[in-house]
Structure 1
Amino acid sequence: MEPLKNIYSNELIKNLSDVVYTVDPKITPKTFQSKVFESPWKKFELKERINRIADVFVFFWNEPLHLVEPKLLRLIELLRSNGVQNFNFPYIFVNDIVTKSGLNDFVTSMRVLEKTTVFSSAEFAIRFYYQSHFESTLKQMILWSKHKEAYVRRLASEGGRPLLPWGIGIPEIKRNPDIHLPILENLWDDENEVVRRSVSNHLNDISKMNPDLVLEFCKKRFGVSEVLDKNLKHALRGLLKKGNHNALTIFSYDTKWKPSLLKFTLKQKVVNIGDSLEFEIQFQQKSKNQEKIRIEYKIGFLLANHSYGYKTFKISEKLIPSNEKVKIVKRHSFKKITTRVYYPGIHKITIIFNGREFESLEFKLVNKQ
C-alpha cells in the first residue's frame, strides 16, 4: 500500500502552484514549488507535509488573517472550479493557514473556518482555538450545531471529540466529556449521515471515560427509526466490544449464554508477517429457543516492551435456532499497515460470545526469511 503522504505528489503541488499564481501573481509556480519541496520534504511524513504546505502559504502571505482571507477563499473557489470536490482531505492545509495567521483573531478565524471546513474539514484546526479561547470556541460550536451547512454541523461534533485521532488533546474536554452534550443532542438525529456518524464517534469517545452517560443518552433514544438505531448502536460499539453487560442487554444479548460442543482451532501455529492467520470455530446452540448471538475474536498483539495490546474484531451477530450447528472459518490478515507495527513472537487469540471470553490459543508471528 502506498504511503498516505504520497497524496502530495509532484502533480498535486504543481497544479496547486498554478492556482496560487492565478490568485497572487507575485508567487510564481516555480517559486512556490521550490519552497514546498525544500529539503527534507522527501523525508516528511503526512502531517509534516501538511504543515510544510501551510507554512509556505504563510511565508508568502505573511500578514493578518483578515488580509489573507480573500486570497484563501479565492484559492478554494478556483480549486473547486478545477474539479476539486468539497470535504477533500488533501487540502486540509487551508485550515492550518487560518490557525497560523489568525489564532489571536478569534472572530475572523471563526468566519473563515466556517467556510473552509466545507472544503476540507477544520476538525484539527478548531482544537487550537479550544486551547487558546476555550469558552468562546465552545459557544461557537454550539451555534454551528444548528448551521444550515452539514459540514459545519459535523465540525461542531467532530472538532470537539475527546479522543479525536490525530487531534491535539484538550484537557478540559477529557475532564468534562459531557460538556458537548448540548451539541450531540442537537445533532444525533441530523438529516445527514456524515453528521450522525460524527456524533456516534463522539459518543464512543465519551463511553471510554463515562460509559453510563453514553448508555443513558442512547437508551432513551432508541426506537425512532431503523437508521437512527444503527447510528446509536455504532456509538455503543466500544462498550459492546468490551462486553459491557448493560450495552449488550440493550440489544437483547444473553450474556449468560454458552456455546455447546465448542471447538476452536488454528490452521497454522506460525504466521509470517504479511500473511494471514486462518482459524475455525464450531459450536452448537442448544437453548430451547432461538438465541441472538454476537461472535467476536480478540487478538493479543505482542508489543515492543513484551506486553500485549488487545483489539476485538466482530465476526457476526445473528439469530441462531435451537440445536443448530454452526461452523465459521475466518482469516485475520497480518499484512503490513501504517497504523500498526507487528512484532515477531507469541501472539494470542480468544473467541468471544455475547461479550464473554471462551477459548484462547497462541500462535507465533515471524518475519519472512
Structure 2
Amino acid sequence: MTTQITDLSLDLIEFILSHLPISTLIQASTVCKLWYTIVSSSSFSLNHKHKHKPWFFLHGIHNISSKNNQSFAFDPSSNSWFLLPTPQQPLHYPNNTSFIGTSSFFFITAPNFLYTPIINPLGWYSTPSLHFPRINPLLGVFKDGCSFKFIVVGGVRFIGNLVDIEDRLDVEIYDPLLGSWDLAPPLPADFRSGNSSSSLSSALFKGKFYVFGIYSCFVSSFDLKLCVWSDVRIVRPSGIVFSFMIACRERLILAGVCNSSSGSSFTLWEVDEKSMDFYEIGVMPHDLLCSLFDGDEDDKFASLKCVGLGDLIYVFNEDYHRMYPACVCEIRGGGDEKGECYWRRVPPLPSLMNKFHKVVSFCSNVSLHSILGEGQHHGLH
C-alpha cells in the first residue's frame, strides 16, 4: 500500500520540511494552505534557522544611476544564486561610498543614517543624525537582550570639500528602542592612518567588536558592555601580504594571502582571542586560488576579498571583468577540536545585466520569516 504525503501526521510533515533549504521551502509554501501555515509559523522559522547556513550577499553599485544597482544572494544549502529586490537609493544620496551591507541590513551612513532589511526592502528607516556623520565606517549589528543595536566605528568625514583622515571619530551605538545614539571612545590612535572599511576588517565575537588592520595587522577589540577598547596587538603570520579577521561561530579566524619560497597561498589561521596566538588550520587548494584570477600580474591579489560567518568563509575576486568568481570554505569541528577545512567553487553569478563600479559583499543569516512575512510577491526570484 502506498502512503500519500497527505496521510502523514502534522509532526512528520513539519520534520520533513525542516530539512529543506530556504529556497525550496518558499516553493513548498505555495503547495497548499497547510504547508504555508507550517512554514510561515514563528516556531518553524525559529527551529529551521539553526539548521541553515549563512548566505553570501553581493550588492553591485552603479555610480551614474542607482537604478542599475543589483543585489544577489548565494544560498550554500541549495548551491544557488538569487537575484534580490534592490532598494533604490534616495535621490539626495548621490555619494555611493556611504552604502554598506551587514547582518541582514543595508545601510547608508552619510549625510544621515538610514537602514533597510536586505530581504524585502520596502523602504528606508531613518535614525537621528550621527554625532559624527561619516563614510566608509565599520558597521556591526549585535543582540542586546531581546533587541538589536548598531555599532559604527571609524570611517572618514568631510570638512568642507576635504576628507579628514586624521579624525578617528568616536564610536557610536544606536538603540532602535530608545531612538538615540550613544558615544563611546574612538578607535585607538594606532589606527589613525587608516580608519575606514577599505583598510580595516571587523568581527563580532563573544561580546566584542574586533577591528583588524588588513595591511597593518593591528588588532583591538571593543567590549560591547563595558564600552572600552583593549590594548592594540599585532597578529602577523610570517609572509602575510594582507588578511581579514572573521568570526566563525566558536572560532576567531584570520584569512589572507601569504607569500613563501614555494609561492603565494591563501591561508587560514585560528586566533586565540585572549593571547592573540595563532596557528594554521587550512590552505586553499592552489588550482582553486588560480581559478580566481587571470594571468600573473604582480597586483593580481589586490581585488581579492574575504567575508564569513558561521562555519563558512567566502573568498572572491571583486573585479567586474572576471564576473566575481568565488569559492567557499567550510570549517568543520568545534570547541577544542582542530578545525578541518573543505573548499569548493561557488557557481557563477546569474547573467549580469549591468556593469558595477563597486561591489559590497558580506555574509548574513537569513530568516525564513523575513522572506514569507511580506507575502510571496516579495520573495526570491
Sort the TM-score into its range (normalised by shorter chain). under 0.3
Say which structure is richer in helix. Answer: 1
Which is higher, the Rg of structure 1 or of structure 2? 1
Say which structure is richer in strand. Answer: 2
TM-score under structure 2 length normalisation = 0.27
TM-score under structure 1 length normalisation = 0.27
- Higher RCO, 1 or 2 (CA under 8 Å, sep at least 6)? 2
